[in-house]
Each structure stands twice: as structure tokens, then as C-alpha cells.
Amino acid sequence: MTQASITLPNAVTGRKLLLWLAGLSLAAVVLALLCSLVGQHRLTWDIWRFRLYRAAVAAVVGVALAVAGLALQALLRNPLAEPYILGISSGAGVGVLCGLALAAHFALPKWATTPMLAMVGGLATAVVVYAIAHRRGRLDPYVLLLAGVMINVFNGALILVILQFTQPTEMIHFIGWGMGKVPEWIWNAPILLVVCASAVLLAWGVIFAKGAAFNALGLGDDVASSTGVSVHSLRIQTFVVVSLMTAMAVSLAGPIGFLGLIVPHVCRMLLGPDHRMLVIVSGFGGAFFLMAADTLCRLIDIWVGMGELPVGVITAMAGGPFFIYLLRTRRGGGVL
């Protein structure tokens, strides 16, 4: 039996996937248009365009984090895995700050320095966490999570050190970015959005192409290897692609946590374990979730009148209890 012979359930056909893709794409456009109508200021052409840019950023970041979380959970067979928890987001954050510092010092474009160094930081963190948890050809899931927590602390300290050398006038911007915020300045940097969106779409396609291999891996490393899946190669490729997606998300909106935990798990509960379907639906689910959360931040500003909350606060408030639920269910012997 070869990797090519790993097939999906009969109910999931290419035609069905295309229909899902078309329907979800249309739903994403409709939701983006609806979200663009919500805000504190009277709707004008400039305001509407500004909100559409925000919706586009939220969609790209949502796709990146949701698909990255799904890929990590499939690869590690651990529903608690996601870029934020494993420290990949904070590693990319260190790279972003270094990229912004270099861009300011050497008058370089942000779209050239920020995503590249974010990728370096995220990938370096993934390598370190992977090396710590890798034992005798196996990945210890609990060591992996603990390593992610410790690397998060270390990266957080590095970010604080970098901020010590930041100009006071830029500090507020970096504080908002550090809490995870869809940027208001993105309409002034369309090239950055295009670069990040293109990288995310490419990575999304790569993860989709690995769907059959993830299905086989769900049966165990030995079974996957017997069907022709190179488990070691799949791990390396997945960590690289996940680091790329996370870096693009962090470059645009900062380290937004728990989205990659919530969305894939909910999609898996609704649709089952077939990863070729899950990759598509989770990506759009992440886009829907973050566009809606960003719009909720604007609504809270209207209702309370104390300024917009960073969207990372909303995802953390939803994701924290969800993480505890998953952790308790796992400890209790439940199937996740």
C-alpha cells in the first residue's frame, strides 16, 4: 500500500470539496461586507475602504492561525497544540520587533524585513521546542506543551528587552500589537498585506495537499509509515509551513492566541476527522471567527465608549476556558 492509495471516505469527493470551497468563499465575502458596515463613525467611502482592509487582514490572520493549529494537532495527535501555546507565535513576535527595528534604522520597507525575520523567529522556536520534546524518535506531548510554555516565557522576556530600546512615541503601538490587534494602518501598507496573504494561501495549499498523510498519521506513526508516509519528513515540512503561516499572522496583527485551538476542534466535532475537508473548513472558520471578533471589538467601543479592545483579548477570553475544558477532558480519559 502506498501513500497515494490513502483515500478519503467515499462521501468526501472532489466535487463536494469544490462546492464547500465555493460556498464558504461566498460566505466570507458576505461576512466581510457586513462587518464593514459596523463602526462608530458615519459610513463614507474612505471609512468603508478602511474597514474592508481590516476585514481582509482579519480573514488572512484567521486562516493562518486556524490551519496552523489544525496541522499541529494532526501532526502531534494532541488537541492542545497550537502556535500560541507552543511558543511559535511569541518567537515570530521577537522576529517582528527585530524586523521593525531594522526597517526603522536602515530605512528598509516593512514588507521586506518584518515577515522574513518573523519567519526566522517562529521557525527557530519550533526547532527548539521540537528538539526538547523529541525522544527516541517519538514526540512526548506533555514535554512538548511544557517546552512551549517555557519558550513563551523566554520569548516574552526578549520582547521586553527589545521594548526597552523602543522610542516612547512608538511604545503604545507596540503594546497594542503585543496584545493582538488588527492594525488600523494596514491601508497604508498594502504590499505587506499582499505578501502575507500570498504566503498564507500558498501554505494553506501545502497543508491541504498533506491531508491524506495526516489521516494516516492519526492511526499512529507505525501505521502511517507502513502506508508510505515519511513521518519524519512530514514533521519537518509541517513545522516549516506552520512557522510560515504563524509568522505572517503575527506580522500583520501580533500574537493572537487560542484561535488555532478553538476553531479546528469545533470543526472536527462537526465534520469528523477527515483532514482534507477540515483544512478547508477550518481555514474559513478561522477567517469568520476573527472577522466577527474584530467587529465585536468595534461594537464594544460603541456600547462602552472607552476605545477598542484588541482582538487578542477576545480570543483569549474565549480560548482560556476552552483550553481548560480540553485539558480536564483529556485528564479524565475522554476522547478528543
* pLDDT score, position 110: 67
Task: Give me the tens of pLDDT residue by residue for the chain, a chain 336 residues long.
Answer: 444 344 444 456 778 889 999 999 999 999 999 999 988 778 888 889 889 999 999 999 999 999 999 999 998 888 888 999 899 999 999 988 888 777 766 766 766 667 888 999 999 999 999 888 887 767 777 788 889 989 999 998 998 888 887 777 677 777 777 888 888 778 787 888 999 999 999 999 999 999 999 999 888 888 888 888 888 899 889 999 999 999 999 999 988 989 999 999 999 989 888 998 999 999 999 999 999 999 998 888 888 877 778 898 889 888 888 888 877 776 443 333
* pLDDT score, position 112: 64
* pLDDT score, position 108: 67
Please check whether residue 211 lies inside any domain of the structure: yes
* pLDDT score, position 160: 85
* pLDDT score, position 3: 42
The total of structural domains in the chain comes to 1
Please check whether residue 8 lies inside any domain of the structure: no
Please check whether residue 5 lies inside any domain of the structure: no
Please check whether residue 298 lies inside any domain of the structure: yes
Please check whether residue 280 lies inside any domain of the structure: yes
**Which residue segment(s) compose the domain that 252 sits in?**
72-328
Please check whether residue 173 lies inside any domain of the structure: yes
* pLDDT score, position 333: 39
SS (H, E, C) the chain: CCHHHCCCCCCCCHHHHHHHHHHHHHHHHHHHHHHCCCCCCCCCHHHHHHHHHHHHHHHHHHHHHHHHHHHHHHHHCCCCCCCCCCCHHHHHHHHHHHHHHHHHHHCCCHHHHHHHHHHHHHHHHHHHHHHHHEECCEECHHHHHHHHHHHHHHHHHHHHHHHHCCCHHHHHHHHHHHCCCCCCCHHHCHHHHHHHHHHHHHHHHHHHHCHHHHHHHCCCHHHHHHCCCCHHHHHHHHHHHHHHHHHHHHHHHCCCCCHHHHHHHHHHHHHCCCHHHHHHHHHHHHHHHHHHHHHHHHHHHHHHCCCCCCHHHHHHHHHHHHHHHHHHHHHCCCCC
C-alpha distance from residue 3 to each of 12, 190, 273 (Å): 18, 40, 18
CATH of the domain at 106: 1.10.3470.10
Please check whether residue 316 lies inside any domain of the structure: yes
Please check whether residue 48 lies inside any domain of the structure: no
* pLDDT score, position 221: 82
